[in-house]
Chains A and B, each alone.
Chain A
Amino acid sequence: MSEKLLEINNLEKTFPGVRALKGVKLTVNKGEVHALMGENGAGKSTLIKVLTGIYQKDGGTILFDGEEINARTPIEANEKGISTIYQELNLVLFQTVYENLFLGREPRTKFGNIDRKKMIAEADRILGDLGIHIDVEKPLKAYSTAIQQMVAIARAISTNTKLVIMDEPTSSLDANEVQILFRIIRKLKNQGISVIFISHKLDEIFEICERLTVFKDGEYVGNYDVKELDQLKLISLMVGRDAVKLERKKEGYNFSKAEELMSVKGVKQGMRLNGIDIDIKQGEVVGLAGLLGSGRTELAQVIFGANAMDEGEIFWHGNSVKVNSPADAISKGMGYCTEDRKVEGIIPHLSVKENLTIALLPKISKFGFVNKKEQDRIVKQYIERLKIKTPTPEQAICNLSGGNQQKVLLARWMCMNPKLIIMDEPTRGIDVGAKAEIEQLIQELSDNGISVLMISSEIAELERNCDRIVVMREGKKIGELVGDSISYEKVMETIAKGSSREVQSNVKG
């Protein structure tokens, strides 16, 4: 049973400017379900991509089934017996189930034609083995995401697969579908096939996996038996501590009498938000804590009108309001620094000046013509105030460093005189110096009566900057920490305690 299938040692991978994997190791036994754990940027995906031949390693060894391998393409990895199920399924939705199963390796008849009869019979058999009984002649899109995923898995194991890698397979499945998936994983296990399982949902890890390996910032943290860990221990391994412990800047909590600026009640959205309440007072810095996939960003996007909610209500200054679009939110006085600067933040080929003032343009334009003097004045003011390092305001923003880009984005909202700024991971990918400056700015905003809703995966960062921390898990608020009661350990405890399984058992008890 404990025969090793995969043994990775000292694996190195460097991208320009980033050392993504710093000599990591991973051992997976035959017939084992093994979890890879770690927050964003821990190196899980990079490791998987090296293993499956999407990236080439820069150093280290990969032993698979007793043989050193170095796959150059995913197809090569596949031939060796490694199959991957990605989050986004690589299937053709308009083709039938059986065509998808055999895509690229269709059985032929004597005359070289595709043998459809054989394909259908085989597809029935393969899926039947997994306990799935569907009409394989229907197009794949006729079935639910879960079934589509099963087809992807069936496709993966219908070759001589020894290891199946599942990258967040449950992210779009509901509870019942997850159980179907787990049943199949157990079946694979019984057939002696190993599974590498990546998920941000801890309950799932504890339910299905036997062992797990934790990574943090591209480094190997440890290899554990799931039985010897509890959730709190696991979270602390994943999140870790900042090397430098910065002092908490806030003292006490003096917002008990402050006026409420905004609140949301009972917000539901798809499977991401399950009825959440939250409120922010004027000048308060409220942090949203929780692991990846807990619904923090989704909540922020609903508040900002970037995504519609299914249910729930938003109050602004105590009045029920509708926020149907970001433009709506901005006109009320909100700003949103998005999590992914590149995707939702900067407009790469526009200048610093234009990026900085783009949300402000309606206010400084007459009949559509921009007041250039006013624009230049504001840009100059914020470049000085935020110490944005750029040769000229005309410089294209894509040439600036991450920290300076982030400052431009902050300035973009600050110059609007907002009442609330939502900051999603404001210091991700930013060097320490710029980080301190941005944290300083957050305090300045708060001192000036501007509220901040801050999302961060670094609990220490929330601990330093927030007056109040709302802890989320699986789209629900599971706890709240106020003022001096905020501490790193308390936040972690709350996240761990909010396990939905425990919640269920509480209900029963």
Chain B
Amino acid sequence: MKTIKKYYNWFYSKSTILAFLLLVIVASLVFSDQNFMSTTNVFNILLKVAKNGGFLALGMTFVILCGEIDLSAGAVFALSGVVMGLVGQVNPFLGIIAGILVGVISGYMIGFMVTKMRISSWIASLAMLFALRGAIQIVAEKSVVIKGSVLTFADAKILPGVFAGLKSGISILIPILFILTFLCMYISRHTKFGIGLYAVGGNGEAARMMGIDVDRIKVKAFVCSGLIAAFSGVLLASSSGSATLSAGNTYETYAIAMCAIGGVKLSGGEGKFSGTFFGMLIYFIINTIFTYLPTGVSVHWQSIIMGALVLISVGVQSDYFKTLKGSKRIVRHKR
């Protein structure tokens, strides 16, 4: 019985990766004649992750780990690209910095509202979402064209000719995605801030009693989320050559979904960046599978399947299933 439980625990802790592997195997078998696992397609999927708000899930993980939420990420994503484009017309370097600053400032403002004014992060970041979406319309009337060698830095490609089918090389967005993921993983395990995140989300009262500045950790988490969202907005605008006003619309919800699929608990204190990373991959693999399906299959099924996937991945973590598994996880009754 004990060994069964051990296996179950192992299985449970690795469920995201196992789901990922399962998905890859099934997809490559089903679409074997279309070369689902070909190098080109793998890099395509990774590029999709990098371009379509996969980064936002990393930022979101910071905020969710400390028990909060950031609904403004998608709006930050859009505004940062626009600001970069506009300021970049004056000075390209300044443009990049200004774009990233958008995220830092908005993240700090949400953090301030949540910690000092004690406003729920749902409301604070929702207000920020509306405000930033409005700001985008004010600063720019239509899409901003990004040009110049500095501003289009993210359009660069590396390793030309190394991979078959990718003669011009792979987009630098892909290595950036990996580096940023590893950086987040490192921060979460090896810095005061990272461990503080888990402490604050896992048991805020205990963290306070240990002398951890709970408010500061939360502010930092929001700044991280804003910073990453802005950075990825800058990257997208830079690589695609234009900053559209509606970029990143509803991306924050996808980011939350990716975290949830990756096993990051919305109640805070539990989850890993590696989980989020696999959550991103799973999300975009499913997304890609839909492009392979015969025409006539409504793309709206994709939304339904994503919804189901999020439900399942959060559902298996619920106490309801835990008691079903007979693993006797009963909350100790207070006498």
Q: Report if A347-B209 is in contact (Cβ < 8 Å); known contacts: A16-B330, A361-B192.
A: no
Q: Which of A304, A348, A362 contacts B203 (CB 8 A)?
A: A348
Q: Which of B184-205 contact A (CB under 8 A)?
A: 190-193, 195-196, 198-199, 202-203, 205
Question: Contacting B208 at CB < 8 Å: which of A55, A306, A365, A372?
Answer: A306
* B197 smallest CB distance to A (angstroms): 10
Q: Contact between B193 and A368 (Cβ–Cβ < 8 Å)? A: yes
Tell me the bound Cα distance from A343 to B202 in angstroms: 10
Does A347 contact B198, Cβ atoms closer than 8 Å? yes
Closest to A334 in B: B211
Interface residue? A20 (CB, 8 A): yes
- B335's contact among A43, A329, A372, by CB below 8 Å, is which? A43
B interface footprint on A372-407 (CB within 8 Å = 1, 0 otherwise): 100000000000000000000000000000000000
Contacts of B167 in A (CB 8 A): none
> Chain A's nearest CB lies how many Å from the CB of B328?
7
B263 nearest CB across to chain A (Å): 12
Q: Which B residue sits closest to A361, measured CB to CB? A: B192
Residues of chain B within 8 A of A293, CB atoms compared = none
- Whether B192 contacts A368 by the Cβ 8 Å rule is yes
Which residues in B have their C-beta under 8 angstroms from that of A75? none
Asked whether B144 is an interface residue with its Cβ less than 8 Å from the other chain, the reply is no
Number of A residues near B (Cβ < 8 Å) is: 42
Residue of chain A at shortest CB distance from B210? A359
User: Are A347 and B190 in contact, with the CB atoms below 8 A?
Assistant: no
Choose from A18, A304, A354 the contact partner of B209 (Cβ within 8 Å).
A304
Report yes or no: A45 in contact with B195, Cβ–Cβ below 8 A. no
A contact face: mostly helix, strand, loop, or mixed: mixed
The distance in angstroms between the C-alpha atoms of A361 and B333, with both chains bound, is 33
Q: Which residues of A contact B211 (CB under 8 A)?
A: 325-327, 329-331, 359, 362
Task: Tell whether B332 is near chain A: CB-to-CB under 8 Å.
Answer: yes
- What is the minimal beta-carbon distance from A299 to any residue of chain B, in angstroms? 15
List of B residues within 8 angstroms of A41 by Cβ: 335
Q: Do B209 and A370 touch across chains, with their CB atoms under 8 A apart?
A: no
Nearest-Cβ distance from residue A443 to partner chain B, whole angstroms: 25
Q: Say yes or no for A344: interface residue by CB 8 A criterion.
A: yes
Q: Which residue in B190, B198, B202 is a CB contact (below 8 Å) of A369?
A: B190
Judging by beta carbons under 8 Å apart, are A372 and B190 in contact?
A: yes
**CB proximity of B198 to chain A, nearest CB, Å:** 5
B332 touches A15 (CB 8 A): yes
Closest to A327 in B: B211
Q: How far is the CA of A329 from the CA of B212 in the complex (A)?
A: 12
- Chain B residues near A15 (CB, 8 Å)? 330, 332-333
**CB-based contact B335/A347 at 8 Å:** no
Instruction: Check B205–A327 contact: CB distance below 8 A.
Output: no
Task: Give the residues in chain A near B192, CB-CB below 8 Å.
Answer: 361-362, 365, 368-370
Give complex CA distance A347, B332 in Å: 16
Known: A20-B333, A43-B335. A349 touches B209 (CB 8 A): no
Are B208 and A326 in contact, CB atoms less than 8 angstroms apart?
yes
A361 and B195 contact, Cβ closer than 8 Å, known pairs A347-B203, A348-B203: yes
Chain B residues with CB under 8 A of A346:
203, 206
Chain B residues with CB under 8 Å of A40's CB are: 335
In the bound assembly, the distance between CA atoms of A412 and B199 in angstroms comes to 14
Contact with B206, one of A45, A325, A343, A362 (Cβ below 8 angstroms): A343
Instruction: Tell me the complex Cα distance, A362–B196, Å.
Output: 11
A46 and B333 within 8 A (CB): yes
CA distance A347 to B211 in the complex (A): 14
Which listed residue, B207, B333, B334, touches A347 by the CB 8 Å rule? B207
- Cβ contacts under 8 Å, B209 to chain A: 304, 306, 326, 336, 338, 344-345
Most buried by B among A41, A55, A358: A358
Partner of A344, one of B190, B199, B205: B205
Nearest CB on A from B322, distance (A):
14
Given A349-B270, A369-B192, 6 extra CB contacts under 8 A: A42-B335, A325-B208, A326-B208, A343-B206, A347-B206, A349-B269
- Name the 7 nearest CB pairs between A and B, nearest first: A330-B211, A327-B211, A347-B202, A359-B210, A361-B192, A347-B203, A365-B192
